[in-house]
Each structure stands twice: as structure tokens, then as C-alpha cells.
Amino acid sequence: MKPAAFKATPQLSTAESQALLKVIGGVTLTPSRRASLKASAMKASVAFSRPLKMNAA
């Protein structure tokens, strides 16, 4: 039997949890980051709607 291609993330250890919270604890989504994510989403949407040059579909 093949091994699983990926695993869900297991519960973090205390050290890992503390390290994570040191980085993201208290951080909120700023308007500029929100705009940046929106722009990236738009680029992805455009890429999904572009016709393929080759006969892939």
C-alpha cells in the first residue's frame, strides 16, 4: 500500500504553539493586506478564465 500523499497537520506541541502565537497573535488584517489579497485573487480568477492555447481541456 502506498503511503498517504499528505497528512493533516497534527496538534502543535506547546513549543510550536508558542512560536506560532509569537508571530501571529494579535495581528489583524490591514486594509493594504486585504487589497493585496484581493488583487491576487483577481489574478487567479483571470488565469482560470483565460483560454488555453493548447488543446488541454
For another protein, the binding residues (CB under 8 A) are 2, 5-30, 33, 37-45, 47-48, 50-54, 56-57
Q: To the nearest whole angstrom, how small is the minimum distance from the Cβ of residue 35 to another protein?
A: 11
Q: To the nearest whole angstrom, how small is the minimum distance from the Cβ of residue 36 to another protein?
A: 8
CA dihedral (4, 5, 9, 14) positive or negative: positive
What is the four-CA torsion angle of 6, 29, 41, 10, rounded to 10 degrees?
10
Q: To the nearest whole angstrom, how small is the minimum distance from the Cβ of residue 8 to another protein?
A: 6
Assess contact for 12 and 20: CB atoms under 8 A.
yes
